[in-house]
């Protein structure tokens, strides 16, 4: 045997002895997983070219689906525009100060603040105090990058660094050099951040390093000299600025940070360079003492910049999105109590992520329009047909409304019978009941059940009522928010007050009594507020009669007791103070975050709905429910039978999980295998294998199984068993014990 063939044979023998192999998948995924799943959806569902599916058991027309999708886009884009406007304007003052800091001249040798001990110059560093949420901090810095680009500050070169590319000083300098030489904008860099390392290497090869290593900082110096040449200037009179921004300074190694500052300081008398550090700490002095060396502290000239409080910004977004006086087709929906509680508690008690808050808004709108066919009814121009009227009759609020009418009719009928008995005995009746009232009520009930026009008119009346209800709630919310300013206790947010009002938790509450007590000393100021433009009597023809009556009763010369009585009567008015869920057709005019099967009773802090479970899923329960009943995934009605082959055999991991549930904490592998084998329906599996086997590759194996060949059958089951065990281990439901013949159930703590 030749040496070459011998080496090849040895290599094959070595491969045969391996217990496992490494497979390196391609870093760039060529196929889109979501796109592939979407393509499996039945073609009949996608004629309308929208991501929405046909509801009403598929009876919804393409035009109706398109109307629903268009309505979602119109309303959400309007909300998103308001949110984005606030985000763009909130940091304008901060960005202006940062721009002034960047454009400020250096004046080395003239200004004493820039001179350190022994005539060593100081390097200017801006300390940008951000919040504790990293996502918010990065968003603010990205907005600052856009702010600089929008103002066409071409003389400013921004270098953005984060903890990912600052593992050591070499990688840090390499990233600085790369961004200096790169002609891409920061926005393009963000969009391309998901590119593979191969693309980065090819891009690195395209850079002109002039024969030098790619982390040589002299390359940056040469680039600046070229800039000076174009401007025909020098370091003292140049307007060019090289700004290095550290996005998450707290996450960068202290050693790397000190090395970077020291190196930049050594070049700062040659280059127009400044630093901006994004800090999560609120105390700059303590941070400097804990992270910078004594040598560096005397070499920096610090400037402090405070960003806006993220918590205040979040509640401002909520107020602008849902608690404003817009009462038209651009903002027809209000939040119900449950969704309000979830959003409020999550934002208040979490790290105040603005991006997460916006995602909750959008997801709530998406769920509402995606799963509710009646959502198109909020469009006043939409004319509902009989299908929509029938759906209105099936709403829980309509059923409750009909129950009240029937109960009222039965009560009147009983009173009429009693009245007739009194008349037969010639007894006096203090209050007579007109028989026509009962007949009118009976006719109304009959029409609501049979006449579509009657239900349509009732819905139009309810729409107008909801507009009045919303206006009254917002006015009451602003009044309570103003009164609590007179109280010494910490104030509640508007959103929290709104939540209390729509759940009828204000009337006869301790909170309200305290407010009325504090109001006595500030009546004149409150009267001026009540008559100001902060409160609105009318919006698009919708009037708040309760507020109008309150304003008429409030006069400067009115006694204190009378004013307090009027205010108390207004706040506790039954036309305002009742639960939102008690309103007719509240399911259509309010966002609830989607229905979700919730097992057991939850306190307000643990409320569940579809929106919050999509954003913050409970992994353990989701895995267990999916493994226990795989039909929701493998036999989903959106997936055509052609793609699932109509298999009646459950996935093997699901079958093993059912055995796993009844197993003890410590599981003997052989017993586990035997129980798994006995749980499998052999005849059904073999018939499915025959049905789905389209080639001749496994024909002989299937034939052996049909002939009751136990060895072949055991091998197949054992292969499925090993694969399923491996998958359960990867899911964290099983783990291997020190003894090879035992497995142990994993317990997830606090998940």
Q: How far from chain centre, in Å, is Cα 10?
A: 56
Lowest mean pLDDT of 15-29, 211-225, 260-274, 728-742, name the range.
Answer: 15-29
pLDDT band at 330 (very low <50, low <70, confident <90, very high): confident
The tokens describing 4, both together, are: 């070459």
pLDDT for position 208: 65
Greater confidence (576 vs 192) lies with: 576
Tell me, letter by letter, the H, E, C secondary structure of 153-190: CCCEEEEEECHHHCCCHHHHHHHHHHHHHCCCCHHHHH
Bridge partners (DSSP) of residue 704 are none
Angle at which helix 310-322 crosses helix 494-502, to 10 degrees, equals 40
- For the stretch 502-521, pLDDT in tens is 999 998 788 888 888 888 88
- Residue 44 vs residue 351, higher pLDDT: 351
What number of H helices and E strands is found in the chain? 34, 12
Q: Is 103 helix (H, G, I), strand (E, B) or coil?
A: helix
In three-state secondary structure terms, 701 is helix
Indicate the SS3 state at residue 115.
Answer: strand
* pLDDT value, residue 196: 40
Cα–Cα distance for residue pair 459/389, rounded to 1 Å: 9
Name the residue with higher pLDDT: 571 or 639: 571
Separation of alpha carbons 506 and 515, rounded Å: 11
Cβ neighbors of 690 (< 8 A, separation 6 or more) are 702
Q: Which of 18-22, 234-238, 514-518, 614-618 has the lowest mean pLDDT?
A: 18-22
The answer as to CATH 3.40.50.300 being correct for domain 92-193+203-307 is yes
First to last CA, the chain: 61
Q: Shortest CA distance to 498 belongs to which of 479, 518, 526?
A: 479
Q: How confident is the model at residue 259 (pLDDT cuts 50, 70, 90)?
A: very high
Which pair of structure tokens corresponds to residue 97?
């100060």
What per-residue confidence (pLDDT) applies to 749?
Answer: 46
Q: Give the pair of three-digit tokens for residue 124.
A: 């200017």
pLDDT digits (tens, 9 = 90+) for 331-345: 899 999 999 999 999
Residue carrying structure tokens 């019978």: 417
Q: Kind and range of the H or E element at 341?
A: helix 337-349
Which residues have C-beta within 8 Å of that of residue 602, sequence separation ≥ 6?
A: 608
- Which comes out higher in pLDDT, residue 421 or 320? 320
Over residues 336-356, the mean pLDDT reads 88
pLDDT exceeding 90 applies to what percent of the chain? 42
Q: Tokens 């918590």, residue?
A: 311
Write down the domain spans for the chain. Answer: 92-193+203-307, 432-582, 618-745
Tokens representing 590?
Answer: 């309010």
Contacts of 691 (CB under 8 A, 6+ apart): 645
Cα 466 to Cα 568: distance, rounded to the nearest angstrom: 23
Q: Do the beta carbons of residue 360 and residue 346 sit within 8 Å?
A: yes
**8 pLDDT band (50/70/90 cuts)?**
very low
For the segment 519-543, the average pLDDT, to the nearest whole number, is 91
* pLDDT tens figures, 78-105: 999 999 999 888 888 999 999 999 998 8
Angle at 413 between CA 410 and CA 416, to 5 degrees: 155
d(CA 445, CA 429): 28
All residues at 6 or more sequence positions from 606 whose CB lies less than 8 Å from its CB, including other chains: none
Cβ 44 vs Cβ 58: under 8 Å: yes
- The C-alpha atoms of residue 88 and residue 143 are separated, in whole angstroms, by 8
Identify which has the larger pLDDT, 470 or 107.
470
Please give the pLDDT value at position 11: 45
Task: Identify the residue with better confidence: 285 or 26.
Answer: 285
Judge whether 130 and 140 are in contact, CB under 8 Å. Answer: yes
Q: Which residues pair with 273 in a beta bridge?
A: 242
Residue 185 dihedral angles phi and psi, to the nearest 5°: -80, 165
- Could you tell me where the beta strands, DSSP code E, fall in 601-709? 666-668
pLDDT digits (tens, 9 = 90+) for 637-664: 555 444 545 566 778 999 999 899 888 8
Q: Where are the alpha helices (DSSP H) in 372-522?
A: 386-393, 396-424, 435-450, 452-483, 494-502, 510-519
Cα 241 vs. chain centroid, distance in angstroms?
A: 38
Q: Indicate the Cα dihedral angle 585, 589, 594, 596, nearest 10°.
A: -30
Separation CA 424–CA 420 (nearest Å): 6
Q: Which is higher by pLDDT, 371 or 107?
A: 371
Give bridge partners of residue 745 from the DSSP assignment. 734
Q: Which tokens is 681 given?
A: 């329906």
In this model, does residue 575 exceed pLDDT 50? Answer: yes
Gap between the Cα atoms of 131 and 179, Å rounded: 27
């Amino acid at each position: 045997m030749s040496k070459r063939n011998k080496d090849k044979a040895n290599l094959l023998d070595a491969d045969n002895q391996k217990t496992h192999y490494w497979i390196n998948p391609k870093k760039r995924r060529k196929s889109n997983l979501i796109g592939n799943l979407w393509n499996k959806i039945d073609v009949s569902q996608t004629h309308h070219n929208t991501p929405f599916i046909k509801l009403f058991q598929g009876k919804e027309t393409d035009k109706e689906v398109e109307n629903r999708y268009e309505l979602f886009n119109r309303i959400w884009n309007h909300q998103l525009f308001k949110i984005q406007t606030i985000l763009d304007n909130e940091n304008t003052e901060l960005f202006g100060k940062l721009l002034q800091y960047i454009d400020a001249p250096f004046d080395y040798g003239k200004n004493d603040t820039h001179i350190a001990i022994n005539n060593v110059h100081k390097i200017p560093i801006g300390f940008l105090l951000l919040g504790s949420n990293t996502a918010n901090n990065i968003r603010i810095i990205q907005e600052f990058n856009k702010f600089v680009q929008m103002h066409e500050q071409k003389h400013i070169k921004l270098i953005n660094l984060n903890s990912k590319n600052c593992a050591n000083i070499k990688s840090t300098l390499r990233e600085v050099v790369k961004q200096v030489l790169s002609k891409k904008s920061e926005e393009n860099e963000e969009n391309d951040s998901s590119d593979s390392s191969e693309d980065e290497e090819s891009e690195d090869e395209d850079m002109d390093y002039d024969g030098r290593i790619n982390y040589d900082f002299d390359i940056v110096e040469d680039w600046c000299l070229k800039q000076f040449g174009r401007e025909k200037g020098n370091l003292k009179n140049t307007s060019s600025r090289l700004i290095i921004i550290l996005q998450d300074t707290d996450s960068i190694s202290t050693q790397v940070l000190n090395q970077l500052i020291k190196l930049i300081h050594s070049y700062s008398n040659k280059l127009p360079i400044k630093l901006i550090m994004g800090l999560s700490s609120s105390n700059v002095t303590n941070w400097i003492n804990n992270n910078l060396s004594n040598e560096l502290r005397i070499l920096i000239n610090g400037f402090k910049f405070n960003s806006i409080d993220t918590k205040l910004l979040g509640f401002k977004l909520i107020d602008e999105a849902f608690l404003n006086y817009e009462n038209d087709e651009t903002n027809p929906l209000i939040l119900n109590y449950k969704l309000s509680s979830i959003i409020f508690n999550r934002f208040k008690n979490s790290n105040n992520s603005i991006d997460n808050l916006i995602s909750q808004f959008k997801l709530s709108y998406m769920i509402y329009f995606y799963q509710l066919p009646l959502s198109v009814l909020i469009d006043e121009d939409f004319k509902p047909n009989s299908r929509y009227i029938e759906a209105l009759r099936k709403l829980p609020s309509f059923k409750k409304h009909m129950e009240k009418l029937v109960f009222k009719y039965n009560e009147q009928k009983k009173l009429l019978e009693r009245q007739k008995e009194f008349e037969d005995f010639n007894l006096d009746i203090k209050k007579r009941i007109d028989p026509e009232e009962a007949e009118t009520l009976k006719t109304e009930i009959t029409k609501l059940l049979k006449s579509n026009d009657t239900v349509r008119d009732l819905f139009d009346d309810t729409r107008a009522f909801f507009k009045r209800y919303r206006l009254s709630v917002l006015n009451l919310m602003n009044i309570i928010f103003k009164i609590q300013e007179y109280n010494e206790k910490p104030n509640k947010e508007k959103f929290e007050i709104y939540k209390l009002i729509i759940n009828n938790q204000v009337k006869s509450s301790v909170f309200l009594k305290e407010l009325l007590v504090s109001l006595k000393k500030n009546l004149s100021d409150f009267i001026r507020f009540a008559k100001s433009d902060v409160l609105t009597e009318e919006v698009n023809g919708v009037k708040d009669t309760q507020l109008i009556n309150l304003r008429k009763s409030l006069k400067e010369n009115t006694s204190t007791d009378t004013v307090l009585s009027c205010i108390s009567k207004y706040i506790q008015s039954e036309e305002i103070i009742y639960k939102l869920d008690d309103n007719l057709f509240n399911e259509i005019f309010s966002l609830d975050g989607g229905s979700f099967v919730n097992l057991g009773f939850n306190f307000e802090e643990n409320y569940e709905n579809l929106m919050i479970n999509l954003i913050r899923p409970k992994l353990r329960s989701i895995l267990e429910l999916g493994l226990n009943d795989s039909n929701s995934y493998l036999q989903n009605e959106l997936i055509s039978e052609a793609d699932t082959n109509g298999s009646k055999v459950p996935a093997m991991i699901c079958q093993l999980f059912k055995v796993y549930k009844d197993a003890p904490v410590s599981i003997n592998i052989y017993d586990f295998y035997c129980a798994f084998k006995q749980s499998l329906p052999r005849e059904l599996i073999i018939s499915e294998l025959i049905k789905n086997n389209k080639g001749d590759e496994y024909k002989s194996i299937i034939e052996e199984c049909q002939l009751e060949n136990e060895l072949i059958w055991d091998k197949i089951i054992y292969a499925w068993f090993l694969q399923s065990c491996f998958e359960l281990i990867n899911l964290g439901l099983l783990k291997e014990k020190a003894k090879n013949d035992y497995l142990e159930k994993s317990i997830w703590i606090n998940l």
